[in-house]
Structure 1
C-alpha cells in the first residue's frame, strides 16, 4: 500500500512497518532534530514497537503524607482513550515504582496501548504476563504512596528536555522513544512511510549483491 496518502496512514498501518529510528530520521529531514530523549527508556515487558497518542502526566517526589493518594493518577488512567500511550514524566526519579500491574490493567481497559515512564516501575513479571508494553528508566519495589504523585494531567511535559504534548504521536521500541509534534505530523508520517518502503527496495538490492556505495548512489537511502 505504498501509494497511501498521509490521511489514510492509520496507526495500525504505522504499527506494521514504522520503528523509532525511521521516524527520527523523518523528523531530522524536516528540521526537528531533538525529538528523542537521550536517556535509556528500554522496554521492560514486551518486544516490538509501541505507537500511539500521548496521554501526559506530570509527577513529583513527596516527603510527607499525601492527603489524597493516587487521586490524579487514577483520574488520568480512567480518562485514557483508545490508542493512548500514558506518558509519566517523573524527572527520572526512582524513588518508587509509579507504574505497575494494576494501573496497566485499568489503562488497558480504556484502550490505552502502553506506558512510557521517565522513572521506575514494578510488577514487571505480571505486566509481561499480560503483554502490556511498558518503557521505563528502571524498577523499584517501593509503592508510590507518600513518595510520588501526579501533580498535573494533560499538559505538555518534558523527558530529557524533549517536549511531549497531549495528542502527539509517540513511537517507542528497543532503540529509543521519539515524539512527533502534531504541527508536523502529516509531513513526518509521509516521509517515514516513503523511507520505510525505499529501505525495503535498498535492502533487497544489497541482498542481491549490490554494493552499499552503489545502493546509496542509486536510491539515496541508508
Structure 2
C-alpha cells in the first residue's frame, strides 16, 4: 500500500458540498458532546492509518444463521457510489461478514467505505487498494452458515450507537462517528467554531504564549461542554 493510496480522499456523492466535510472525528465528537448526543462508535477502528470515510449509511443487520442458513448478503448490488456499508454483526469476532469479493466490488463501485460491528478478513486486497475498512479487527473464519442477513436499510447498532439508514458516517485515524440527522446543522456550526478556536490556540502557543493563557483566551474548556 502506497502513501498515496492510504491518503486518498473519502468517496462521497455529496461530500464536498456538505458543511461537515473535512472535519476530523475528534472535532465532530466534541460537537456531539456540546449538543448532548452520542455518536462515537466505541471499539471501531481503521484497518490502516490514512483510511477515511464520509458518506451516508447503507445499513445491514445480521443474526445467527437458521437451518438452512440464509444469505450473508448481496446488498452491494443495491448500493450507490458514495454510500457507506454499515454492518451490524452484533460485535461478533468469531466470524466475518466482509472479505475479498466484497472489497473488490465495493472499491470498483465507488463505495465510500465499510464500518462493521464485527470483523473482516482477506485484508490484503483492502490494504493494496486502500479501501477504507473500520471494524473490531480481522479474523479468517467465514460467516457463511454462521450468520445471515436479517434486514437491510433498517436501524442498526454499531459500537453501542444507533444508526439509521442514510445517517451520516465519518471515519478517520481516530475511529468512526455518526451524526443524527436532526443535529447535522448544529454540529456543523459547532465544528466550525471549535476548529477556528483550536487553530488560534495553536497559533498562540507557537508564537510563545503559554498554553494556559491561550486556552483561557479562546474558551478551550467550554468548546465541547453541553449547555443544556
* Alpha-carbon distance change, 83 to 69 in structure 1, aligned in 2, over 3 angstroms: same
Distance in 1, Cα, partners of 2:64 & 2:180: 28
Deviates most, 113-122 or 140-149: 140-149
Are 1:46 and 1:132, in contact at CA under 8 Å, matched by a contact in 2?
Answer: no
1:48 Cα deviation (Å)? 4.0
Which residue is equivalent to 1:17?
A: 22
Which residue is equivalent to 1:35?
A: 39
Which residue is equivalent to 1:69?
A: 71
1:46 Cα deviation (Å)? 4.6
Which residue is equivalent to 2:156?
A: 157
Are 1:89 and 1:157, in contact at CA under 8 Å, matched by a contact in 2?
Answer: yes
1:210 Cα deviation (Å)? 1.2
Which residue is equivalent to 1:136?
A: 135
Are 2:51 and 2:130, in contact at CA under 8 Å, matched by a contact in 1?
Answer: no
Are 1:23 and 1:192, in contact at CA under 8 Å, matched by a contact in 2?
Answer: yes
- Alpha-carbon displacement from aligned partner over 1:159-202 (angstroms, at most 9, x marks no partner): 24311111111112232221100111111112112322322222
* SS of structure 2 residue aligned to 1:99: coil
TM-score under structure 1 normalisation? 0.85
Distance in 2, Cα, partners of 1:11 & 1:49: 12
Distance in 2, Cα, partners of 1:205 & 1:137: 38
Structure 1 residues 202-217: aligned runs within 5 Å = 202-217=201-216
Distance in 2, Cα, partners of 1:62 & 1:203: 52
Structure 2 stretches of 5 or more lacking a match?
A: 1-13, 222-228
Which residue is equivalent to 1:125?
A: 124
Distance in 2, Cα, partners of 1:128 & 1:143: 19
* SS of structure 2 residue aligned to 1:57: strand
Distance in 1, Cα, partners of 2:52 & 2:203: 23
* SS of structure 1 residue aligned to 2:29: helix
Kindly indicate whether residue 48 of structure 2 is the aligned counterpart of residue 49 of structure 1.
no
Which residue is equivalent to 2:226?
A: none
Are 2:134 and 2:175, in contact at CA under 8 Å, matched by a contact in 1?
Answer: no
* Alpha-carbon distance change, 113 to 160 in structure 1, aligned in 2, over 3 angstroms: closer
Distance in 1, Cα, partners of 2:201 & 2:158: 34
Which residue is equivalent to 1:218?
A: 217
* SS of structure 1 residue aligned to 2:104: helix
Are 1:43 and 1:133, in contact at CA under 8 Å, matched by a contact in 2?
Answer: yes
Which residue is equivalent to 1:185?
A: 184
* Alpha-carbon distance change, 114 to 81 in structure 1, aligned in 2, over 3 angstroms: same
Structure 1 stretches of 5 or more lacking a match?
A: 1-9
